[in-house]
Structure 1
Amino acid sequence: MDTALRSRAADVFGWDLRPEQETVVDAVLSGRDALAVMPTGSGKSAIYQVAGLALDGPIVVVSPLVALQEDQVVGLEDHPEAPRAVTINATRARRDLDEAWGAVEAGGARYVFLAPEQLAKDDVVDRLRAAGVALVTVDEAHCVSSWGHDFRPDYLVLGEVVERLGRPPVLAMTATGSSPVRAEVVERLGMRDPLVLATGFDRPELRLEVVRHSDADAKRDALVEQVAGLEGDGIVYVATRAETLVYADELVEAGRRAKPYHAGLRVRDREAVHHAFRDGDVDVVVATSAFGMGIDKPDVRFVVHADVPESVDAYYQEVGRAGRDGEPALATMHYRAEDLGLRRFFASGSPRPASLRAVFDAVPADGPLARSDLAAASGLSARTAGRAANALVDAGALSDERDGLVRVPGGPEHADDAARAASERAADRERIEESRIAMIRRYAETDECRRQFLLGYFGDELPEPCGNCDSCSSGSAAESHAANGSSDDSWPTDAAVEHAEWGRGTVMSTEDDRLTVFFESAGYRTLALADVEERQLLERV
C-alpha cells in the first residue's frame, strides 16, 4: 500500500493496517478479486473502508443483517473525515430511501450497504450500475457456500449481479471459511484469479469450556448462576425464541441488565436492544442466532451457550463475538446430549416437489425468466417461488444468468426430473447438516484440547494443547489424541481424496490414529487411519 494511502487511512480512521490487510487492499485497488479469511475482530471491514478512500465510485457492501449494516454505518460516522455511508433495505422509510439513492447517484455516498435480497431487484441493480460501482464487497461470504453452516440462497444471485454491475472487483470476507467453503465461495461469486488470504482461525484470548448436564432445569439454573456472577458484558445464545424471554427474565431477577433478542421482534425493538448493548445500557443479551452477525462490540467478555449450536462453524462464529479487543474472554457451552434432537429438527426441510415443478415449468425452455417475474409465472408466493428457484439452482437444474433464470443445457428437461434432482440435493444437505451435528457433539464430549479440536475442524492444526480450555486445565488434553497434524505427511490438510461410497472429499485434519475428511455428499467423516490404510478406503486425487 503506498505511503499516501497509508497516511490517509491514519488521518481518517486512526488506523495502521497490518501487512495482511494491506495485501488485500493492494489486490482490490489493482483490480484483482480477493477472498479474505480472517478471525472475528481482525479488521476485515477496514480493508474495504480503506480501499474506499482510493477508489472512484461507490463501494457496494453486501451484508446479511440490517443490524450489521447499521453498525458499520455508525462506525463510519464516528470518523468525521470518512466518506459517507448509506443503507438501502426494506426497513427504511420511503423518504430515507429516496435520500440515500440521491446521495449514491450524485456521488455523495461512497459506501452502500444492502442485503442480498435487494440485489435480486432489477431496478436496484440498474441504479447501482448507473452509479459506476467500483468494488463489490461480500461480507459473511460463507453464506454463499452450500457447504457452509449458514448457507443463504439469496447469496446465489451475487455472481450474476456482479456481471450486471459491469464486473467491478469482488472482495469476499469471512471469519469461518474451511477449504471446501473457500473453494465454493470463489466459484459461486465467479471470482477471477483471486488473491486468497487465510490468516488462521486461532483466537488464543478465548477460554473454551463445556459444562455437561443431564437435567434441563439444572442446566438452566447453572447457566443463570454462572452469568449472574460473570463480570462485564456478554451474550447468552439459546435455541428458541421462547427461551430468550425465559432466560432474560431470570437473569434480570438475578441482577443483570438483560434483554431478549430474536428475529420475531419488531425491527425497531431489535434495533433498540442492539443499540443499548453497544452503548452499555444493557449488559447481557439473550439471543437466538439472529444476533449472530450483527455484533460489532469489542469488549464482550463472555459468550455462553444455553443449548448446543447447530454446528462447530456456527459455534466458533458466535463465540468469536467475545474478546474482539484482544483481552481475555470466556466461551462456555452448557451441554445436554438430549438437546441434539432439536438441532436435528432444525437441520431438516426442503421445498415441496409441487413448488419445484411449478418454478421449473415457469422458466421457458428457450429463454430467460427474470426473477422479478417468477412469482407471477409460477403462481406461487414470492418467498416460496424464490426458495424453490434457489433449490433448483443449487441442484444444477436452473442457472442464474444476467437476464434471469434459465434452464441448464444438458440438465433436466422435465419438471419431475428437476424436482427429483433438487430433492436429492436437499437430502445431501441434510446429511451434511447431520454430520455437522455429530461434530459439535464430538466437540462437546471430547477430552482433547478443545482449541486443537476446533482448529483441526477448520484445517488449521495446533501442534500442542493450548493451555486455555477446560480439558487442558483438567489434564485430560495431555492424555488424549488431538488434531495435531501428526499424519500430515501421508494425508496433508486440504488434500483432495476420493471414497468409493462418499465420492470426493477434502482432508481437514489428522491425528495419531485418525483423520477427518469433508465429503461433498456426506459431510464430515472421521476415519481410523488403520482402516484407511489396510482397506484402502481413500485415494489421493
Structure 2
Amino acid sequence: MGIINVDGLFNKYFPNLANEFLLKGCSLKDFQKSVVTNVLEGNNTLCIMPTGGGKSLIYWLSGLSLQGITIVISPLIALIDEQTEKIREQGYEVLTIHGEISANKQVNILKKFSNGEVNPDFIFVSPERISTDGFFEYCIRLRKDEIKLIAIDEVHCVSQWGFSFRPFYKRIPEFLDSVYKHSESVPITLGLTATLNSKEITDICNDFRIDKDNVIKDDALIRSEIALKVLKFENEKEKEDKFWELLNIHKNEKILVYLYRKYHQRGVENLTKDALERGFKATGFHGDMSSKDRQEIINRYKNNDIDVIFATNAFGMGIDIPDIKVVIHFMIPESVEQYYQEIGRGARDIPAANAYVLYTNKNIQVKKTHFIDRSFPNIEELKECYNKITSNKIGLKTLQYFEDETIQKCLPYFLDNDLLSIRCKGVSNLKMLSDIKLQELEDIFNATKTKGIITTIKKTGLDPQYITNLIYLAVLQEKVTLQKGFPKCLIVESKCKNISDEKAEQLKEYIEEKKQYKHKLLDYFVYLLDEDNSSIQLHQEIGKYLGVPKFKLGRIYSTLKGDKVRSKSEVIIANLLYENGIEYEYEKKLFYRSGKIVPDFTITLSNGREKYWEHLGMIGTEKYDKRWTQKLKIYQENFPDQLEVTYEGATISDSAKRLIEQLKRI
C-alpha cells in the first residue's frame, strides 16, 4: 500500500464531520492518523489513548477505509446503543445484537444478515454474546470473508491482571480461531483503551498476536488539565465532614462521586439519600439498575437535571459526559489504572476539572479484604459450583451461564485450570423445534422422547457442534420453526468428577497469585498518594508508571491545537501560531549529517520553507547556556537563516506576535 492519506479518507467517509471540524478550526489529531495508518497497513494494533481522545473515530474510519464489515466488541449496552446512533447519523448501516433485543428479533436480524438482506458496515456485540451465542457465530462464519476489522473497545478488560477483567473478553481469541480456522482472510484486530500497565499490555499482545511495535501510545496520556488533590484523614467522620464541605464548595457544578459500595453505610443509596436531604440534585448509579434506568440517568446528567451522581465503577467505560467539573473518590480505587481512568471522566470538553481522593488507613485495608479478596471465589465456592455443574460425573453437561451468578464467577477458573472445556455454544433441548422439513434433523429430533441435547448426543453418537450447526442451517433455510429464540446455553465437558485435593491446591495458588498482584497494585497507588506530591508531580509519576517516555513527562500544558507543551510561554506561542493559521509541529526531530536536534516549534511557511522557533526559557543559567551554545552552533552550520528565537519575559505575547507577523510576510 502506498502513502495513506488519512485526511482524504476522513473527508470521503465523513464529509459532515469534516465540515464540522473545519468550522470549529480543528482537524484529526496526529495520533488518530497514526493509529488509522497502522491498521490500514495491515497490522494488529493496540491503541492506548486518554479518555475523550476520539477513539471511536479511529475504528469508524479504519473500518470503512478497509471497505468491509467491522465487528465492534463493546462491554455496555448503553455504549453500544449510543455508538449505533452516532454512526447511523453519519449515514452508515449498523447491526446491533444485545440482551435488550428480544430473542426472536435477534434470530430474525441474524437470518437477514446471513442471507445478505442486511449489509451492515458495523456490527456491535458484547464479549458475552461472542462467547456464548452459537447462532451468532454460525451466521458470522457465513460472511467471514467480508469482515475486515475486529475492534475491541475497552480492551483492558481482556487482562486477567487488570481491575476491570471481564472473563469473556478472554474468550474472544477462541471465537476468532473458530470462525477463521484454515482461512486466509483473517481480519485485522484493533484494541482500544485508556490505561494499561506493562503486564496487561503483554497479556493483550499475547492474546491478539500484536507485535510490540504495533502498540501505539498517545503522548497526551497525562491529563494535567485535571487538578489532582489528595486528602488523607484519621477517621471516617473527618473524611465525611470534608466530603460534604467539598460538595458545598462545588455546588451547582457537575460532580461525580465514586463509592464502589451500592448499599449500607456510606454506600451509593445511603449517600444519595443524604445528598437529597441536603438540597443537592443527586442520584445514584450502580450495576443493579436496568440499563434503561442508567441511560435515563446519563441523559438527565447531560441535560443538567442532576448535579451529583453517586456511582460504583458501573459509571465508567464508554460514558461520555463532556462537562464534569469535579470527580471525588470517596472510597479509594484499587490501582493507579482505575484511578486515572475514572478521573478521566472529568474535563472531557472543558478546560479544567478538579479530582479529589479521600481516604483513611482503614479504607486501604477494607479495600483489600472486602473488595479485592471477595472478588475471587474461595475453594469451597469453587467445589460447590463444580459439583452443581457436573453432578459429580465426567462428560458433557449443559450450562445456563447467565442464570447463575455463582457459575459466572467460577467458570473462568474451571476453564483456565483444565477442569472444564467448552465443547459447543448450543441449545439445551430440542423442544423449541417444530414443523421440521430437514430429514436428518427430524431423525435427530425423534431419537429421544425427552429431547434433551445431552441425551440426544448420547443416543445418536453425533458431535454436539454438528447437531447445533444442523439446527442453525435449518433455521436459515426456513426448514424448521422455532417456538422461541435460542436460549444462551454452553455445552461443556467436565474432565473429572470433582475437584481433587491436588486441583484444589492448584486453584488456591492460581487465585492467590492474582490476589497478591492486586494488593501490590493498591500498595503502589497508596505509596504515590502518601508521597505528598503536587498535582503535576502526581500526574508525572502516574505517566511514568503508564509508560510515558521520560522526555515527554514535562509536556503538561494544553494548547488550542491539542498539543501538550512544557511551559505556559510555549502555550502562548502555540496558540498564537494556531490562531494565525500557521502550520507547526511541536518538538519534531530535526536530523542533520551527524545527529539530530529537537526545535521547540517546526514551522511550515506558505512557500513551503521551514523555520525553527526556539523559546529560551532559562537563558542565563550555566547548564542551559552551555546546551544552547552547542545547539546554536548546529543551527548555524546546518540550517543557516532558518532559526528564530524568543526569550522568557513578561512581554512574551508581544514578542511572539511580532515574530508571527514577520513569518506571515515571508
Q: Same fold (TM over 0.5)?
A: yes
Q: Distance in 2 between matches of 1:233 and 1:100?
A: 40
Residue equivalent to 1:48:
59
Is 1:444–2:529 an aligned residue pair? Answer: yes
Residue equivalent to 1:88:
97
Identity %: 25
Shift of 1:465: 7.8
Q: Distance in 1 between matches of 2:324 and 2:55?
A: 18
CA gap 1:103/1:356 in 2 versus in 1, 3 angstroms? same
Counterpart of 2:137 (choices 125, 141, 144) is: 125
Please list the CA deviations of residues 360-406 of structure 1 after superposition, one character each: whole Å capped at 9, or x if unmatched. 979999x9x7xxx5528x9x975544543311344466677897878
Is 1:390–2:394 an aligned residue pair? Answer: no
SS in structure 2 of the partner of residue 300 of structure 1: coil
Shift of 1:213: 2.0
Is 1:141–2:166 an aligned residue pair? Answer: no
Contact 1:235 1:302 in 2 (8 A): yes
Please list the CA deviations of residues 215-273 of structure 1 after superposition, one character each: whole Å capped at 9, or x if unmatched. 32332232223123325323111131122123223333444321110111233222211
Contact 1:350 1:423 in 2 (8 A): no
Is 1:432–2:486 an aligned residue pair? Answer: no
Residue equivalent to 1:341:
365
Residue equivalent to 1:482:
none
Residue equivalent to 1:513:
none
Contact 2:14 2:90 in 1 (8 A): no
Contact 2:197 2:337 in 1 (8 A): no
Is 1:300–2:311 an aligned residue pair? Answer: no
Amino acid of the residue matched to residue 540 of structure 2?
Answer: Q
Counterpart of 2:83 (choices 72, 79, 93) is: 72
Residue equivalent to 1:504:
none
Residue equivalent to 1:324:
348
**Structure 1 segments unaligned to the other structure (5+ residues):** 469-541
Is 1:354–2:365 an aligned residue pair? Answer: no
Residue equivalent to 1:165:
179
CA gap 1:250/1:359 in 2 versus in 1, 3 angstroms? closer
Q: Distance in 2 between matches of 1:317 and 1:297?
A: 14
Residue equivalent to 2:257:
236
Aligned length: 457
Counterpart of 2:304 (choices 280, 286, 289) is: 280
Shift of 1:142: 1.1
Q: Distance in 2 between matches of 1:244 and 1:144?
A: 28
Contact 1:144 1:151 in 2 (8 A): yes
Q: Distance in 2 between matches of 1:445 and 1:36?
A: 31
Counterpart of 2:338 (choices 310, 314, 319) is: 314
Q: Distance in 2 between matches of 1:40 and 1:432?
A: 25
Contact 2:110 2:136 in 1 (8 A): no
- CA RMSD of superposed structures (Å): 3.4
Deviates more, 1:215-224 or 1:396-405: 396-405
Amino acid of the residue matched to residue 505 of structure 2?
Answer: R
SS in structure 2 of the partner of residue 281 of structure 1: coil
Is 1:211–2:211 an aligned residue pair? Answer: no
**Structure 2 segments unaligned to the other structure (5+ residues):** 22-26, 181-185, 425-464, 466-490, 558-666
Q: Greater Rg, structure 1 or structure 2? A: 2
Residue equivalent to 1:250:
274
CA gap 1:359/1:250 in 2 versus in 1, 3 angstroms? closer
Contact 2:399 2:492 in 1 (8 A): no
Residue equivalent to 1:524:
none
Q: Distance in 2 between matches of 1:76 and 1:63?
A: 15
Shift of 1:314: 0.9
Shift of 1:327: 1.4
CA gap 1:455/1:407 in 2 versus in 1, 3 angstroms? farther
SS in structure 2 of the partner of residue 323 of structure 1: coil
Q: Distance in 2 between matches of 1:10 and 1:39?
A: 23
CA gap 1:279/1:401 in 2 versus in 1, 3 angstroms? farther
What is the TM-score normalised by the length of structure 1? 0.75
CA gap 1:102/1:326 in 2 versus in 1, 3 angstroms? farther
Amino acid of the residue matched to residue 216 of structure 1?
Answer: E
SS in structure 2 of the partner of residue 241 of structure 1: coil
Deviates more, 1:151-160 or 1:413-422: 413-422
Counterpart of 2:46 (choices 28, 35, 41) is: 35
Counterpart of 1:221 (choices 235, 238, 241) is: 241
Contact 1:159 1:190 in 2 (8 A): no
Contact 2:71 2:149 in 1 (8 A): yes
Alignment of 1:489-500 (within 5 A): none
Counterpart of 2:10 (choices 3, 6, 9) is: 6
Shift of 1:48: 0.8
Amino acid of the residue matched to residue 159 of structure 1?
Answer: P
Q: Distance in 2 between matches of 1:386 and 1:190?
A: 27
Counterpart of 1:156 (choices 170, 176, 179) is: 170
Q: Distance in 2 between matches of 1:162 and 1:238?
A: 37
Shift of 1:103: 6.5
Q: Distance in 1 between matches of 2:253 and 2:108?
A: 39
Contact 2:325 2:352 in 1 (8 A): yes
Amino acid of the residue matched to residue 319 of structure 1?
Answer: I
What is the TM-score normalised by the length of structure 2? 0.62
Deviates more, 1:88-97 or 1:241-250: 88-97
Please list the CA deviations of residues 289-311 of structure 1 after superposition, one character each: whole Å capped at 9, or x if unmatched. 11111411222222111111122
Q: Distance in 2 between matches of 1:329 and 1:350?
A: 38
Q: Distance in 2 between matches of 1:199 and 1:363?
A: 51
Q: Distance in 2 between matches of 1:395 and 1:270?
A: 36
SS in structure 2 of the partner of residue 239 of structure 1: coil
Please list the CA deviations of residues 407-442 of structure 1 after superposition, one character each: whole Å capped at 9, or x if unmatched. 99xx9x985434432221111011011112212222
Shift of 1:332: 0.8
Shift of 1:320: 0.8
Would you identify which runs of 4 or more consecutive aligned residues in structure 1 move more than 6 Å?
359-365, 396-408, 463-468
SS in structure 2 of the partner of residue 290 of structure 1: coil
Q: Distance in 2 between matches of 1:424 and 1:5?
A: 51
SS in structure 1 of the partner of residue 377 of structure 2: coil
Shift of 1:43: 1.2
CA gap 1:456/1:30 in 2 versus in 1, 3 angstroms? closer
Deviates more, 1:196-205 or 1:124-133: 124-133
Is 1:198–2:198 an aligned residue pair? Answer: no
Amino acid of the residue matched to residue 326 of structure 2?
Answer: F
Please list the CA deviations of residues 512-535 of structure 1 after superposition, one character each: whole Å capped at 9, or x if unmatched. xxxxxxxxxxxxxxxxxxxxxxxx
Contact 1:58 1:131 in 2 (8 A): no
Contact 1:359 1:374 in 2 (8 A): no
Q: Distance in 2 between matches of 1:123 and 1:288?
A: 34
SS in structure 2 of the partner of residue 291 of structure 1: coil
SS in structure 1 of the partner of residue 358 of structure 2: strand
CA gap 1:363/1:264 in 2 versus in 1, 3 angstroms? same
